[in-house]
Amino acid sequence: MRSFVTAINPLQHDNGFCFGLTLDDNWLETSRKVFHPSFFNVHNQSPEAHEGVGGFYRDFYMGATLQQIAGYLDNKGWKYKLDEDECRILTGVYAENIQEFLIVIQLDEDGEFFELFAPRVLSGVNNHPHKAAILQTMLCISWETKMLQWEYDPSDGEIRAIIEFPLEDSTLTERQFNRCLFSLVELVDEIALPRLQTVMETGEDPGDVTEGERLLLKLQEESPGLLDVLERAMEARKRRGRLPSESEDPPESKG
């Protein structure tokens, strides 16, 4: 197998030495459809224009492009609107617990930072009587789930759900993107929204009850019979120090 690197050239910079790579032109031509365009910024440019460490230039980064993500959406048959001026894609999905589930896919830092968020998941939180409970529940959901974060705009009370992470010198694979997209939809619509709507109505987080049920089931699975022992112990603790009822005989006093 022939390498696409035809030469490795040592270069001297103020901060030390690095190496420049001379790439085969045929390989470059066939690879432009795969890699981020900025990967090829160093081709046919002077070494002084780049700062490199360990044999690779800093310009040799991957990142992601809107066209790449649009291709992932095309593969799933999703409809979307590509906004190149804002470097984002707008799409949406039918959901059970949110009327308009808008999804924004945005690239920042020249494609090196990926954001996927659902704006206005909740509104009117700013002056809500259960505001503290709502915000606390969002923190609990973030603690209990992977990737999902919450953002709160104090100016108008908007709540948005977001998944974001840096790509830097890596790329965004289709499998990564699909996991982020489907996780956002599932976590927000099926888990978070019903729970947050209950908190907005009652001021109490139903997740606390659910967590207690999960703990009891785990105890029953790991230690069969332990719950019966705990139940008897709790009943005995309740009776201890309680005045006897009229139906019960009073204890005999020591004479």
Residues in Cβ contact with 140 at an 8 Å cutoff, skipping those fewer than 6 apart: 205, 207
Encoded tokens for 255: 């004479």
CB contact at 8 A, 85 and 98 = no
pLDDT at 100: 84
What's the chain's average pLDDT?
75
For the entire predicted model, the pTM comes to: 0.60
Encoded tokens for 77: 């048959």
Q: What is the pLDDT of residues 125-157, one digit of tens each?
A: 888 899 899 899 999 999 988 999 999 888 888
* Residue ranges of the chain assigned to CATH 3.30.1460.70: 66-203
Q: Which residues on neighbouring strands pair with residue 57, listed in sequence order?
A: 52
The CATH fold assigned to 66-203 is Yope Regulator; Chain: A, (3.30.1460)
pLDDT at 210: 54
Residues 74-111, buried b or exposed e (16+ Cβ, 10 A)?
A: eeeeeebebeeeebbbebbbebebbeebebbbbbeeeb
Burial class (CB in 10 A: 0-12, 13-18, 19+), 159: buried
- Mean pLDDT of the region 89-108: 91
pLDDT at 216: 63
The single-letter code of the amino acid at 226 is L
pLDDT at 8: 44
Total count of residues recorded for the chain: 255
Task: Give the DSSP per-residue string, 214-247.
Answer: HHHHHHHHHSTTHHHHHHHHHHHHHHTTPPPPTT
Q: 1 or 122: which carries more pLDDT confidence? A: 122
Which of 136, 139, 86, 75 shows the shortest CA–CA distance to 108? 86
Cα–Cα distance between 138 and 141 in angstroms, integer? 5
- Mean pLDDT of the region 64-84: 95
pLDDT at 17: 40
Spacing of C-alpha 160 from chain mean position: 12
pLDDT at 56 over 50: no
CB contact at 8 A, 88 and 51 = no
CB contact at 8 A, 121 and 197 = no
